[in-house]
Chain A
């Protein structure tokens, strides 16, 4: 796990210092499928669930963007609604394509009645995108996502999961094309 975090930090640092153009849209929609790789401390493969999300990107510095959004989905625990906050770093490859890496902190609730339960997590992702038209782009991303619902521990010893998300992103809006500061 430490190696993954170091690699992520390295990729991020390289991105901050590399000049070039970036293609990113202001807002987008995502469809996600979650492949489970572990729960608690136990390795276990299988399909965990899926989600849809709407996102908005705020320029921070050069090719770095603050990502915000809302995710509606379901996993082995229940359906959920999560607020997404994260950082995304774009790496231009050509005039129409890019690579992207990101860190997300999803926080929200599991939809239970009579009352919902808190669920939160952390995720890293990487992928590639392609500009189909000035206002429309597609990207495919994957990564690693950890999420847990500590209050659900009162109901089940299985309340923490590790998933590999496979995400299709559709990006809309004004095309951002800028040089980094350096």
Chain B
């Protein structure tokens, strides 16, 4: 019987071939481009730079709560602006920093969020969120800067084995979609031991009495992977059972409740 050769040492030639193949895949990878959403379309103040997009309420004093957001892999960051703008409208005491990355891959700059913290000195408490690969990089950011963030919000995302946050004192909110074709409930549950102890939420306002060192799980019925942003259908994903505005409304309600409860 043939045994898998996981431990077998590969020749240098094969490894070089693999590196070249990975490089070729990277350099030919297309990013999903979202629906146009410019600062003039926003209800709040939006400032766009080469490294981030900052959204804050147009009224009142600068918010002291901050949400740093990492986009999904190979997704143009502007694809998340529509609902993040709505989130700031729903919660004016929160400002959002959407982190850009070279090639639209946060793996190239997972620590950019740490560097950006200093640009917003008025923010006293930070949360970091990410969609898909962006969520994985958000976990990496927190794992290497454990005292800088109070919470992680994962949108169809989970940490890698190298980022074990099970003993982290913050709170994780893990949001998934029942129609997600790219991140399954199995994927999420297999990595549950890398996150703080679980608390399954039954309603968007069903929070435990103690939030410290907890992971709250909530599944949005009918939500799919691509509708966590606004970039159209994604290869490998399932058709959603709810509309994109409905999915965004559910996300905004949940994140607003969570932020109010926590910060």
Chain A residues with a Cβ under 8 A of chain B: 36, 39, 42, 44, 46-52, 72-76, 78-79, 81, 111-114, 116-117, 154-158, 161
- A113-B31, A114-B232 known; A75-B38 Cβ under 8 A: no
Most chain A beta-carbon contacts within 10 A, residue among B29, B78, B102, B232: B102
- A39-B49, A155-B78 known; A72-B27 Cβ under 8 A: yes
**A44 to chain B: which residues have CB within 8 Å?**
49-51
Q: Which of B1-53 contact A (CB under 8 A)?
A: 23, 26-34, 36-39, 48-51
Per-residue contact bits, chain B 123-160, to A (CB 8 Å; 1 contact, 0 not): 00000000000000000000000000000000000000
B102 and A47 form a contact (CB under 8 A): yes
Docked Cα-Cα span, A117 to B29, in Å, equals: 14
Other A-B pairs, 5, CB within 8 Å; known A79-B31, A113-B31, A161-B50: A42-B49, A74-B26, A78-B103, A111-B29, A112-B30
B50 and A157 form a contact (CB under 8 A): no
**A50 to chain B: which residues have CB within 8 Å?**
102
- Check B100 for interface membership: any CB of A closer than 8 A: yes
Docked Cα-Cα span, A76 to B50, in Å, equals: 7
A157 and B23 form a contact (CB under 8 A): no
A165 smallest CB distance to B (angstroms) = 14
Docked Cα-Cα span, A158 to B77, in Å, equals: 12
Q: Which residue of A lies closest to B231 (CB)?
A: A113
**A47 to chain B: which residues have CB within 8 Å?**
102, 109
- A49-B102, A52-B23, A79-B26 known; A112-B38 Cβ under 8 A: no
Chain B residues with a Cβ under 8 A of chain A: 23, 26-34, 36-39, 48-51, 76, 78, 100, 102-104, 109, 232
**A113 to chain B: which residues have CB within 8 Å?**
30-33
A111 and B30 form a contact (CB under 8 A): yes
Docked Cα-Cα span, A76 to B76, in Å, equals: 10
B49 and A158 form a contact (CB under 8 A): yes
B31 and A155 form a contact (CB under 8 A): no
Q: List 16 A-B contacts (CB under 8 A).
A: A49-B102, A50-B102, A52-B23, A74-B27, A76-B51, A79-B30, A111-B30, A113-B30, A113-B32, A117-B33, A154-B36, A155-B34, A155-B36, A156-B38, A158-B48, A161-B50
Docked Cα-Cα span, A134 to B28, in Å, equals: 34
A111 and B38 form a contact (CB under 8 A): no
**A156 to chain B: which residues have CB within 8 Å?**
38, 48, 78
B99 smallest CB distance to A (angstroms) = 11
Give the residue of A49, A73, A154, A157 whose beta carbon is less than 8 angstroms from that of B39: A157
Most chain B beta-carbon contacts within 10 A, residue among A51, A73, A81, A156: A156
B41 smallest CB distance to A (angstroms) = 11
Give the residue of A72, A116, A155 whose beta carbon is less than 8 angstroms from that of B30: A116
B39 smallest CB distance to A (angstroms) = 7
B249 smallest CB distance to A (angstroms) = 24
**B100 to chain A: which residues have CB within 8 Å?**
76
A112 smallest CB distance to B (angstroms) = 4
B31 and A111 form a contact (CB under 8 A): yes
Docked Cα-Cα span, A54 to B28, in Å, equals: 15
